Amino acid sequence: MERGSYEEIDHTADLGLDLRGPDPAAVLEAARRGLLRVLMGEEPDGEPEEERRVELSEPTRPDLLKAWCEWIYRLLEEERFVALGSEFESTEPERFRARLEGVVLPADRVASASELKAVTYHQLSFEREEEGGGWRARVIFDV
C-alpha cells in the first residue's frame, strides 16, 4: 500500500496536522503516525506484541477522522497501548473497521507524552483532492 504523509501545522496555541494519501485508509494511517509523533516526540517503532480492533461510525468523513484520532489517544491514555501500525479491513465514507498492532508502554513513558485535551472541529476536513485523485485532511488538536 502506498503510504500517506503528514506535516505539522504551525498553530500558535495548539498542534495540528495536514494529511495526504492516495486513499482514505492511507490518510488515516498517516494521522495515527502524525498524532503519536506530536504527542510522543517521535514516531513509535518496535515489534508489535498485542492488537486492538476498532469499529467506528460517524455522520461524516471528517467526523470519522476526529473519532479515529480520539481512539488512538484513548488507547494510549487508558491502556498505555501505543499503536505501531494499523490495517483497515473496510473504509466506507462514514464507517470503518481497523486492526491496530502495538505495544503496552511503561506508565512513566506514557506520562511523559503530551496530553491531548481534544481533537477539535476547527478547520477539520477530510476530502478528495481536486486534482490528482488523492485525499487530503486537516486536524487541529487542543493540547
Partner 1 sequence: MTKIEIERVEPYVWEIPKRGEMRVPGRVYASDEMMEDIRSDESLEQVRNVACLPGIVGASLAMPDIHWGYGFPIGGVAATDAGSGAISPGGVGYDINCGVRLARSELSASDLGEEKRRTLMDALFDAVPSGVGSEGAIAKLSRSDERRVLTEGARWAIEEGFGDEADLDHTEERGRMAGAEPDAVSDRAMERGLTQVGTLGSGNHFLEVQRVSEIFDEEVANAFGLFEDQVVVMIHSGSRGFGYQICDDYIKRIKPKLGEYGYDLPDVQLAAAPIDSDEGEGYLGAMRCAANYAWCNRQVMLHKTRETFQKVFGMGPGDLRMNLVYDVCHNIAKIETHRVDGGERNVCVHRKGATRGFPPGHDEVPSTYRETGQPVMIPGSMGNYSYICAGEAGAMEETFGSTCHGAGRRMSRTKAKKESKGRDLLKEMEDQGVIVRATGMRTVAEEMAHAYKDVADVVEVMEEAGISRRVARMRPIGVVKG
- In the complex, the residues that contact partner 1 under the rule CB under 8 A are 8-15, 39, 41, 59, 76-78, 80, 107-108, 110-115, 117-118, 120-124, 140, 142-143
* Residue in 100, 79, 76 with CA at minimum distance from that of residue 28: 100
Q: How far is the CB of 87 from partner 1 (least distance, A)?
A: 26
In the bound complex, what is the minimum distance in angstroms from residue 117's beta carbon to partner 1? 4
Contacts 24+ apart (CB under 8 A), 118-125: 118/142, 119/66, 119/69, 119/70, 119/73, 120/14, 121/66, 123/16, 124/62, 124/65, 124/66, 125/62
User: Whose Cβ is closer to partner 1: residue 3's or residue 109's?
Assistant: 109
Residues in the chain: 143
Least Å distance, CB 78 to partner 1, is 7
Residue 63 C-beta: closest distance to partner 1, Å: 8
* Phi, psi (rounded to 5 degrees) for 126: -160, 105
Nearer Cβ to partner 1, position 12 or 53? 12
Closer residue to partner 1 (CB): 14 or 23: 14
Q: Given the complex with partner 1, which of 5 and 120 has the nearer CB atom? A: 120
Rounded CA separation 41/21 (Å):
22
